[in-house]
Amino acid sequence: MSTHRPVQRRGLGRGLGSLIPTAPAADSSSSEVGGAAESTDASGAAGRGSEVELAPVDGAHFAELPVGQIRPNRVQPRQVFDEEAMAELVHSIKEIGILQPVVVRRLGRDEYELVMGERRWRATQLAGLETVPAIVRDTDDDAMLRDALLENLHRSQLNPLEEAAAYAQMLDDFGCTHEELASRIGRSRPQISNTIRLLKLSPAVQRRVAAGVLSAGHARSLLAIEDADLQDRLAQRVVAEGISVRGLEEIVAVRDVDRPVTRTARAKPVAPGLADLAERLSDRLETRVKVDLGRSRGKITVEFASLDDLRRIVDIMDPRNRSDRPI
């Protein structure tokens, strides 16, 4: 008696897969299950293309393909894959799924050949997944596909982890340079590099970033911690205690995961002559006056001892408002 394991859904979106339409309706009879993935992606990537009006990608579409229907490229120059690096990729895929889809071309109705991403395809099988996200390319024009994806990367709203995966894949698989990527999407080179570094975080931390409970600023601070368990413990503290990015940087700097965060009051802005103005108001109103300057507005506090004292102060402020009526 054979058992069929259900298709394992990924929970973090699909990187470049968020930038390209799924298979057209005419292909719905094929074995591609891209349409199903659209409605079940827990990351919110589903339907994102129509919401942000992504540019058309001629000769390519996104699909979830059974790994058994894909065969390696016959002219793949790489024959040796580092076992340790492969094990890390397998662990990452088991924990957070695949953020960078493979690129394939169709050979027949249910047969595809890898163009890019053999490591990801192999790691997917080792992880026990039955499907792999793929960009199905119908054209040999790499430059056209790259340009279309760059255009959509500029338009689409990705979470920090999807954005990092998309940047990395554009650089690695599509021969895009840092300068071209920065220019086309309106980012600086350091910003792109710092975003890509998020892919070095532990899978547990990456899940929190993708879910939006951990900011990209917190994630970049955690990159200074190499131990994955320590990264995860700190991420848990950030979420549980509401630690700010500055507070996390303080903990990371001293390498003390259990260190309590010093919550110091923010220094108030100081304007020249502020104390003198408060003193002049105090003399004029014959009571204590405090002047506070905030980041966007200020506040004057006037103290009074009684209602009669308040009436006196009001009369000084506005002589027309003689206080012969009750307050």
Report pLDDT digits (tens) over 226-285. Answer: 888 888 989 888 888 888 888 888 888 877 666 666 554 454 555 666 777 777 787 677
Length reported for the chain: 327
Q: Which residue has better confidence, 113 or 9? A: 113
Q: Which of 95, 113, 118, 151 is catalytic?
A: 118
Where residue 77 falls among pLDDT bands split at 50, 70, 90?
low
pTM of the model: 0.58
Q: Output the CA angle 88-80-94, nearest 5 degrees.
A: 25
Which string of b and e fits 200-233 if b means at least 16 CB within 10 Å?
ebbbbbbbbbbeeebbbebbbbbeebeeeeebbe
Q: Output the CA angle 5-8-10, nearest 5 degrees.
A: 175
Per residue in 185-238, pLDDT (tens digit) is 888 888 888 889 998 998 888 888 887 888 888 898 899 888 888 889 898 888
The answer to whether 26 and 171 have CB atoms below 8 angstroms apart is no
- Give the E-state strand segments of 32-101 in sequence order: 60-66, 70-71
Give the Å distances, CA to CA, from 319 to 35, 312, 314, 315, 322: 75, 10, 8, 5, 6
Amino acid identity of residue 3, one-letter, is T
The answer to whether 265 and 292 have CB atoms below 8 angstroms apart is no
The C-alpha atoms of residue 48 and residue 152 are separated, in whole angstroms, by 11
Domains and CATH numbers, the chain: 15-141 (3.90.1530.10), 211-254 (no CATH), 274-317 (no CATH)
Is 118 a known active-site residue? yes
